[in-house]
Structure 1
Amino acid sequence: MSGKTALIIGATGQTGQYLLKELLASSHFTKVGEYGRRLTDLATLSTGKDKLVQKAIDFEKLEESGIKDGKWDVVFITLGTTRKAAGSAAAFERIDKDYVINSAKEARVPDHLQRVVYLSSGGANAKSSFLYPRCKGQTEEALASMGYSDTIVFHPGLLTGTARPQSRLPEVIAEGVINTLRLSSFFSNLEIKASTQNTILVTNHHSLGYVRWPLWAGVWR
């Protein structure tokens, strides 16, 4: 994975802010793009600022964002909200599903090997009668059919069997994302098998399956 470029959408969120720092500290990535409505204050970053490219974008006008121009090798999406924060069910779906799907579409470059990594939620189900899991599930299915070389979807759970404080959950998830990618070659032909442990949902050329969540993460599905 050496010398790769990474794009992160949703870097100012709870998990996104930790993931951005992990990407900037990683020697695997030589260029990191942060695109979003709000951007990280550079004063809060201690390392890797020289390889960071920031751009404020309007999610309603993604065609003007220039995301595609970066030809990113890995697209990380940690964008999300709650119904309460969004103000309505329609607004929630627009942000939590449409913005994610549209961002991934805009970042996709035909004939370029790319991996998309999406932070979803446990219980995601496209056929659920409940808004939150339905939106997450529909988003996962849309990403899986978008033509990326690999689609990795994280289903984070709660901390268990660990002394880590609950407030560190976003940080632990971010570390898990990075360490999982380190475990495999960048565009390897992933062999996916079912796991009863905490899992990361993976698609490779539209084939769905599960791989084991790193045991050190101390999470459950």
Structure 2
Amino acid sequence: MSEEFQDKAKQYREMGKTAFIIGYTGECGKELVKALSKNRIFNKVVLIGRRKVDLTPDPGPEFVRDFVYRKVIDYDKLEEYTEAFQGAQVGYCCLGTTRGKAGKEGFIKVDRDYVLKSAEIAKSTGCQHFSVVTASSANKDSMFLYVKTKGEVEHSLKQMAFDKLSIFKPAMLLCERSERRIMEKVALTFMKPWICMFPTAGSVPTSYVGTAMVVDTVTPSEGNLRIYNNEQIHSVFKQNEQKK
């Protein structure tokens, strides 16, 4: 990482903060865990999910796979799990599914309702900075379900008045998925020439997203809202991955 980032990370680390991650088993979530493990900017990171998942390699002692009472959460009963969010000044949300996997109602529940309910609980328990991954095309007024749902999330989060809200809007995510998405694989095949010619326009590696979220965390903000489009995620990653 760049020398500038290292200086910021050191200053941030000295604050002794705690963070939580929801959606840590997804592709962006996994890369966020790796980036946090590598840079050690928190005293503790709580991984919140509906099931226990072992991480390989082990990310380090500040990562807590289970919260109070060693239980995983039920997203349909989030109000019963406020203890999972308590004590965290920073919250990361990489939660998401697909319509193909969860159906229309299931997609809305996971990608909008669970995200917003988690944010509400986090805000009520003292979270000051909330970071979320949405989509480059997010638009609450769209007629398309995916785009509309992501847009509704962004709109609602802006109304919650976090001290700092960071929204990451990646285009097509590039990664080696643990589960194959057929339509995504087909789209990627056709987009390969475009990606090669214009690497920052329509796609981004999930590792770039994870790193950009960490860089944003330690960077002092002007105002309470930061929005990163796909090109800016590329830029943040490349600027801060430079060696000393």
With the length of structure 2 as denominator, give the TM-score of the two structures: 0.70
Q: Distance in 2 between matches of 1:175 and 1:195?
A: 13
Does residue 17 of structure 1 match 2:33?
A: no
Structural mapping, 1:83-102, within 5 Å: 83-86=99-102, 88-102=103-117
Aligned residue number for residue 214 of structure 1: 236
- Secondary structure of the 1:29 match is coil
How much has 1:192 moved relative to structure 2? 7.4
Letter in 2 for 1:169: P
Q: Structure 2 regions of 5+ residues with no counterpart?
A: 1-11, 67-71, 173-194, 240-244
| 1:109 aligned residue (124, 137, 155) | 124
- String of CA shifts for 1:148-192, please: whole Å, max 9, x gaps: 1111100113566699xxx9811221112112333x22xx43387
Task: Give the equivalent residue in structure 1 for 2:88.
Answer: 72
Q: Which residue of 1 aligns with 2:242?
A: none
Secondary structure of the structure 2 residue equivalent to 1:47: coil
Aligned pairs for 1:40-59 within 5 A = 40-42=53-55, 44-48=56-60, 50-55=61-66, 56-59=72-75
SS at structure 2 position matched to 1:32: strand
* Aligned residue identity for 2:40: S
Give the corresponding residue for 2:206. 170
d(CA) in 1 for partners of 2:101, 2:142? 21
SS of 2:210's equivalent in the other structure is helix
Higher relative contact order (CA 8 A, sep 6+): 2
Q: Is the 8 A contact 2:28 2:206 kept in 1?
A: yes
**Cα distance 1:170–1:73, how it changes in 2: closer, same or farther (>3 A)?**
same
**How far is 1:68 from its partner?**
5.8
| Structure 1 position 199, deviation (Å) | 4.0
Structure 2 residue matching 1:198: 3-state secondary structure: helix
Deviation >6 Å, runs of 4+: 191-197
Whether contact under 8 Å (2:170, 2:230) holds in the other structure is no
From 144, 151, 156, give the equivalent of 1:130.
144
The equivalent residue for 2:18 is: 5
Q: Which has the larger radius of gyration?
A: 2
Q: Percent identity?
A: 32
Q: 1:61 aligned to 53, 59, 77, which one?
A: 77
Aligned to 2:231: 198
Taking structure 1 as the reference length, the TM-score comes to 0.77
Q: Alpha carbon RMSD of aligned pairs, Å?
A: 3.2
Separation in 1 of the partners of 2:63 and 2:236?
A: 28
